[in-house]
Chain A
Amino acid sequence: MFDRRLVQHFDWVLLALALVLEAIGILTLYSAVNASAHVADLTGPVYLKQTYWFGMGIAAMVAMFLFNYKWLHRWGGAAYAFSVGLLLAVAFAGKEVSGSQRWLVVGSLSFQPSEIVKIAVVIVLARYFSDRCSEEGFTLKSLWKPLVWTLVPFILIARQPDLGTGLVVLLIAGSMTLFVKIERRSMICLTGVGVFVCSVAWFFLKEYQKQRISAFWNPETDPLGAGYHVIQSKIAVGSGMVLGKGFLKGTQNALSFLPEQHTDFIFSVLAEEWGFLGSAVVVTLYLLLIIWGLSIAMRSKEPFGTILAVGITSMVFWQAVINVGMALGLLPVVGVTLPLISYGGSSLVATMLGIGILMNISMRRFMFKD
C-alpha cells in the first residue's frame, strides 16, 4: 500500500500555504488579545490555545491523507450520519454560550460539531454527484436527495442559532451543485423558488440577525448597534493605509472598538497593523490556496476526487470571502470564521481536515493514470 510514489507526490505547496496562513493567524491573534486586556481576561491566552489546537489540526490532516480517499466514498454516509448525530446531541445536550447552543463538551474539550458537518456534507454530495454526473446536468427530480442532506444540517445549525455556519453549508452545497451543472429548466425553477424562500425566511430571522442585515444595506439606520461594528471595522482597515501601523500597534483593536476581534473581525486587526501590503498578501495567499485546490480537482483523474476537491475548496473560498467581505463592509455581519486565522479550535480542525483530504487527492492522482 505504501508506495514510494506517495512520498514523491506529497503536496508541499499545499502544506506551505496552510502553514504560512496559520502562522499569520497566530501572530494576529497574539496582537488581537494582547492589546486589549479585557479580552485576555475573558478567554485566557487564546494564541496559546490556538497553537495547541493547531497541533490537533496537524494530526487531523495527517490522519486524512494516510488512507486512500476512496474509502471516503464508501464511508461517507456513515461519517455524515455520525456528524448529524453530533448536531442532534448539541440540540439536546449542547452547551449554551451567550444565547447560542453550539458546543458539545467532552471532558475539558468543547467543540462545535457544525464545523465538522461541513466536511461531511461535502463528502456525501461528492459521492452522489460523481456517481451520476452527465453533460445535461441534474434535474430537480435527481436533486431532492442532496437537498435533504443539505437542509437537515442547515436547519439544525440555523436554530442553534448560528446563521453564519448554516449559510456556509448552503453555499458549499450550492456551489457543488452548480459545478456539476443543473439542467436548464430546473435551474430557472430553482431560482424562482430561491427568491421565494429568501423572502419568506426573512420573517423567521431573529431580531438581531435582521438588524445586522438591514444595518448592512444601510449602516446609518443603526450606527450604534450592528452598523457600529461595520463603521469601526472600516476605520480599522482603512487606517492601516499602505504599510500598516505595525505589529501590536493597531489602535482600533487596542481600544476595543472592534467587536469579536479574535474571531469574526480578525481580518480588521490584521489589515490595521499590516496595511494594504499585508492584507493584500493574505488575500492573495487565500486566492493561491483556492487556485491550488481547484488545480488538485483538475489533476484528479476521477470524478469523486474532482468533486470532493471542489467542495472543500469552496468551503475555504466562501468562509474567506464572507469574513473578509464583512470586515471591508461589503457583506452583512454574520459570524463566519476566517479559515486558519480566526480563533476557534473546531473551525481550525475542520479546515485542516479539509486540507488533509485535498492532500490525499493530490497525492493519489497518479493511481488512476494507467
Chain B
Amino acid sequence: MNHTYLKTVDSDWYKQRLSGTLICVFAVFLVLLARLYYLQVVKGAEFRRQSQNNCVRLQSIPPARGLIFDRNGVLMVDNRPSFSVSIVLEDAKNPKEVLLRLAEFLGEEPQPMLSKLDGARGYPSFKPILLKRDLSRDSVAVVEAHKLDLPGIFITIEPMRHYVEGKRASHLIGYLSEISEEQLKSGRFPHNRSGDFIGKFGVEKSCESFFHGEPGTRQVQVNALGQVTRVLETVQTVPGENVYLTLDLELQRKTEEMFAEKVGAAVAMDPSNGHILAMVSSPAFDPNAFVEGMTFEEWNKLAANEFHPMGNKAIQGQYPPGSTYKIVTTIAGLEEGVINEDTKFYCPGYYRCGNRTFRCWKRGGHGSVDIIDALAQSCDVFFFQLGEKLGVDRLARYATSCGLGMSTEIKLDNEAPALVPSSAWKLRKIGVPWQAGETLSVAIGQGFNLVTPIQMVSLVAAVANGGTRYKPLVVGRIRGVDGSLVKVGAAEPVGKLAASDKTLELLRRGLVDAVNRREGTGWIARVRGVEVAGKTGTAQVVSMEKDHEGKPLESIPFRLRDHAWFVAFAPAEAPRIAVAVLVEHGGHGSSAAGPIAREMIKTYLGI
C-alpha cells in the first residue's frame, strides 16, 4: 500500500486537499450559525410572540357527504348546516370554569360537557374538543354575545346529515353514527377522524366509500382568546359522491302509506334487471334521530319495541311462505313430469295420508281441478297429492333453483338465508327422520320452510321475465359532484329457474286466473285495464287452535293471527313490476296483503 502511495501522491497533497475541505466545512457552518443568529436573535422576539399567541392553527373542515336521490333524481337525503361548539384547552386557561359558564349561558346541565373534557384527556391541548353538536340558533347567538367571557370556546358550522323524508325508506337508506375508537384504529377509515359520522346500516353503510369525500383544512390566525382573527389559507373539501337509488319515491310513499298501522314488509322489483323499486319494512325508524343524538331512554325504547323497527323485515324477516310456495311446487311437478296440463285431481275438501287427515282451506272441496284451477283457487288438496308424489327432496332441489334458502346477494347487511327443508336437513338438525305427512305441509308452504320477502320478489320477477333470477340492486348509479358517472348498477343475473318455457307459461296462466277469475283467491287485487298475475298466501303462525277456527279475525289474539302474503307481477304479458307483500298477523292473504299489492301496481303503472 505504502508503495503505491509514494509513487503517486505524497502526504502534502492530502494536506492540501484537507485544507480545502476544511474551508468548505467552515463556510457551511458559518451559514448555519448565521441563520441561527438571524432566527433566534434578530427575529427572535417576533417568533417568540408568534409561539406565545400560538397564533397559527390548523382547522379541519368536514366534507359534505354525498347526497341520496331516488331513481328519478328526487332528493331524499341531503346535508344541512349545523352549529357545533368546541373548546381549545390551551386558550381556555381554566377550562372547567369556562365550561360551567358556557352551560349556564346555554341553560343546560354542565355534566355532559364536563365528561367530554374528561374523555379528551391526553389530547394535544391545541386541538379542539367537541362539546355539543347541533346548537339552536338562539344558543349560537348567546355564545357569540358572550364571546369575551368564554375564552377558548368557538363555534363551527359543519354539514349534518338530513333525511328529508324522515322515516321514508329508512331501512334501505340506513343511518349514520359516530365512528368508534376500534374502527379508527382498524385503518379501514383513513379519511375519518374521531367524531366523524359514518354509515352504520343500509345504503349509508354499503356505499360509505363513495359518500365520505375528503376533508379540507384551514390555516387560521387566532388571538389570545383562541378566536379566529384571520384565515390564512384554505384547502377546499372534496364533497362525497351522490348516490341515485333504484327506488321510485312515489311507489315507496304509497306503499308506506298502505302499511300505516300494519307490521310487515313489501318489496317491488323491476323484473327486467333486478332494480328494487320499493322496499318497505314496517314499523320504521327516523334516521335523523341518530345524527341529532338520542338519549339512552330513546334508544332503549327503539331497541325494545316488540315490532323491531330497527330490523329490515324485507331481507331479515323469515316467514313461512304459505300458498305462495305453490309456485315452487308447480314448477317441480311439471318439470319432473309428475303432472302435465291435463292432470286432474279430485278435491273433496280433505286428503288422507296415512292415518292423518289434511284439510283443504275450502271445506266443501274444489271438485275435479287441473293445475291452472288449482293455482287460481289455491286448492290445497291438489298440491297435497302433487307434493306426496314429488317427495320433499325433489321439492327442495327446485326450491333451491328458485333462489330460496340462500342469500339473494343484495348489498345490504344482515340478509337472512331463510330455509329450504329436506330429509337430510331434518335428520341433521332435529335428529328425527322425515315423515311423509310433513311433505304435504311443505308442498303448501306450511311446514319447516321459511322465506324472506326479497327472495319471494326475486322468484316472482324471474317467473315474470322468463326464468332469469337477477341480483336485487338498490343503487342505480353513482355520480361525482361534477355529474360524471362513477358507477352504474348494471343488471347481474345470478341464476336460472329450472323451468321450461311451457312450465312458466302454465304457471303464468294459473297466476293470471288467480287474480282475474271471480273464484280466484286474488280477485281483490285485479286492476282494471291491466292483467295482473298473482298468488295469495296465508301462513299459519301456530297450528290454529280449534276454538279460533272460523272466528272473525278481530277475536283472535294478534300474535296468533296468520301472516298474509301476496306476490304478483304486472302487466302479465310484458311485466314491468314484480311485488311481494307480507303483512305480519294480517290474517288472510287476499284481504290483508292483496290490496297493498294492487295499489303498488297501480301506482307504479300510473293507473
Contacts and interface: CB of A to CB of B under 8 A. Distances in A.
Contacts of A368: 2
Given A251-B54, A283-B32, A298-B14, A241 B232 contact: no
A344 interface: no
Given A242-B44, A321-B28, A303 B5 contact: yes
Contact of A224 (B14, B29, B233): B233
A287 B25 contact: yes
B interface SS class: helix
A349 B446 CA distance: 77
Contacts of B41: 241-242, 276
B218 to A, nearest CB: 8
B13 interface: yes
B295 interface: no
B35 interface: yes
Interface stretch (A35-43, A59-67, A186-194): A35-43
B219 interface: yes
A262 to B, nearest CB: 15
B58 interface: yes
B125 A255 contact: yes
B233 A279 contact: no
A259 to B, nearest CB: 12
Best-surrounded residue of B1, B4, B36 (most CB of chain A within 10 A): B36
A302 interface: yes
B51 A38 contact: no
Interface in A277-306: 279-280, 283-284, 286-287, 290-291, 294, 297-298, 301-304, 306
A134 interface: yes
A58 interface: no
Interface string A244-262: 0000000110111100000
B45 interface: yes
Given A256-B124, A283-B32, A135 B56 contact: no
A271 interface: yes
Nearest to A309: B18
Contacts of A283: 29, 32-33, 36
Nearest to A181: B17
Interface residues on B, range: 35 or more
A252 B8 contact: no
A317 B25 CA distance: 8
A140 interface: no
A239 B46 CA distance: 7
Contacts of A130: 1, 5
Nearest to B8: A134
Nearest to B125: A255
A235 interface: yes
Contacts of B438: none
Contact of A290 (B25, B35, B54): B25
A193 to B, nearest CB: 22
A73 B40 contact: no
Nearest to B47: A238
B18 A298 contact: yes
A234 B35 CA distance: 11
B51 A330 contact: no
A45 interface: no
Nearest to B13: A135
Interface in A337-370: 368
A283 B51 CA distance: 23
Contacts of A237: 36, 39-40, 47
A134 B9 contact: yes
Contacts of B50: 235, 238-239
Interface string B3-24: 0110011010111011001100
A325 interface: yes
Contact of B17 (A179, A257, A325): A179
A294 B36 CA distance: 25
Contacts of B25: 287, 290-291, 294, 317
A88 interface: no
B46 to A, nearest CB: 7
Given A237-B36, A271-B36, A303-B5, A276 B44 contact: yes
A368 B1 CA distance: 11
Best-surrounded residue of A232, A237, A256 (most CB of chain B within 10 A): A237
B40 A275 contact: yes
B22 A235 contact: no
Nearest to B122: A37
A25 interface: no
B282 to A, nearest CB: 48
B126 A238 contact: no
Contact of B219 (A228, A242, A284, A310): A228
A132 B40 CA distance: 47
A306 to B, nearest CB: 5
B31 interface: yes
Interface string B547-573: 000000000000000000000000000
Given A133-B8, A302-B1, A328 B36 contact: yes
A303 B48 contact: no
A133 B41 CA distance: 46
Contacts of A298: 14-15, 18
B52 interface: yes
A234 B48 CA distance: 11
A298 B15 CA distance: 6
Nearest to B26: A287
Interface string B140-173: 0000000000000000000000000000000000
Given A134-B8, A279-B36, A303-B14, A239 B48 contact: yes
Contacts of B11: 301
A290 B54 CA distance: 37
Interface string B38-80: 0111011111101110101010000000000000000000000
Contact of B47 (A38, A239, A302): A239
A304 B15 contact: no
B53 to A, nearest CB: 10
B45 A241 contact: yes
A44 interface: no
A34 B558 CA distance: 66
A321 B32 contact: yes
A280 B47 contact: no
B393 interface: no
B37 interface: yes
Contacts of A301: 11
A324 interface: yes
A219 to B, nearest CB: 11
A235 B51 contact: yes
Best-surrounded residue of A38, A238, A283, A310 (most CB of chain B within 10 A): A238
A223 interface: yes
Contacts of A321: 28-29, 32
Please provide the 4 A-B residue pairs with the shortest distance between their CB atoms, ordered closest to farther. A238-B47, A241-B44, A239-B51, A276-B40
28 contacts: A37-B122, A134-B9, A179-B17, A223-B233, A224-B219, A224-B235, A228-B219, A237-B47, A238-B43, A238-B50, A251-B54, A255-B124, A255-B125, A284-B33, A287-B25, A290-B25, A291-B25, A294-B21, A294-B25, A297-B14, A298-B14, A298-B18, A304-B1, A310-B18, A321-B28, A328-B39, A330-B32, A368-B2
Interface of A: 36-38, 41, 73, 130-135, 179-181, 223-224, 228, 231-232, 234-242, 251-252, 254-257, 271-272, 275-276, 279-280, 283-284, 286-287, 290-291, 294, 297-298, 301-304, 306, 310, 317, 321, 324-325, 328-330, 368
Interface of B: 1-2, 4-5, 8-9, 11, 13-15, 17-18, 21-22, 25-26, 28-29, 31-33, 35-37, 39-41, 43-48, 50-52, 54, 56, 58, 90, 122-126, 217-219, 232-233, 235
